[in-house]
């Protein structure tokens, strides 16, 4: 059984403009809903990518390719919020995997992969954060291979007493392939620089660039301290 979780530890939440949830009929995916229609370039690109992937299922894939995804969907299971194994429909699996590949900057995968194997992240932690700065460092065990990248979702300047941040998570950065065990990058400028004493929360994931599989998010935290 393969267990893949799109955000933290279950099939609920959003990444790259796609929201995963479940109802009485099981897990499903949909375009992320929002009370307004934000028009930032990244948000518009995500909506366009999601729409294109959804349309490709019928417009671009041939029946043999759709059958391949249907076969893969019968072989892999996903853990729901209750810890129970669930199956995804073939087209939903196709959309999920390709949105994850899109997040990592990889072209669409039309032929279903043989499996959804991906190496886990054994452990990781943030390096120091400096007030007035926007760069971050993540130290982790096991370098990425040439067919792997890291994806960091996170939120900065959190009140130290706040633990639940899932609804505020955004994609912070995607590493290069073959990333070594000390990853330094810039946090997006939205929200300002790091604030002294605030908490920074991240969920680190590894993606297999061959099959689009991602690990569950490994939660890491840090506090902004004076230099």
For the entire predicted model, the pTM comes to 0.79
- Those residues of the chain that have pLDDT short of 70 are 1-39, 191, 227
pLDDT at 7: 40
Q: What is the pLDDT of residues 37-46, one digit of tens each?
A: 556 777 788 8
Domains in the chain, ordered, with CATH?
13-103 (no CATH), 124-223 (2.60.40)
Q: What percent of the chain has pLDDT over 70?
A: 81
Contact 174, 102 (CB under 8 A): no
Strand ranges in the chain using DSSP code E only, listed in sequence order: 13-15, 18-23, 26-31, 78-79, 85-86, 124-126, 135-140, 148-158, 170-174, 182-186, 199-208, 218-223
CA distance 100 to 6: 9
Indicate the pairing of strand 26-31 with strand 18-23. antiparallel
């Amino acid at each position: 059984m393969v267990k893949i979780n799109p955000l933290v530890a279950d099939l609920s939440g959003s990444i790259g403009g796609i929201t995963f949830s479940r109802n009485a009929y099981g897990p499903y995916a949909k375009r992320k809903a929002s009370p307004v229609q934000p028009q930032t370039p990244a948000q518009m690109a995500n909506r366009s990518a999601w729409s294109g992937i959804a349309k490709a299922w019928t417009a671009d894939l041939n029946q043999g390719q759709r059958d391949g995804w249907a076969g893969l969907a019968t072989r892999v299971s996903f853990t729901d919020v209750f810890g129970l194994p669930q199956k995804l429909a073939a087209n939903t699996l196709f959309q999920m995997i390709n949105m994850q590949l899109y997040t990592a900057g990889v072209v669409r995968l039309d032929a279903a992969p043989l499996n959804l194997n991906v190496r886990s992240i054994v452990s990781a932690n943030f390096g120091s954060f400096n007030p007035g700065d926007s760069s971050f460092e993540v130290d982790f065990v096991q370098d990425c291979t040439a067919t792997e990248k890291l994806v960091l979702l996170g939120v900065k300047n959190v009140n130290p007493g706040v633990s639940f941040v899932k609804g505020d998570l955004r994609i912070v950065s995607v590493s290069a392939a073959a990333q070594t065990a000390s990853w330094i990058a810039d946090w997006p400028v939205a929200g300002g620089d790091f604030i002294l004493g605030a908490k920074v929360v991240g969920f680190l994931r590894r993606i297999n660039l061959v099959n689009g599989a991602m690990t569950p998010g490994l939660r890491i935290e840090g506090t902004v301290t004076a230099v």
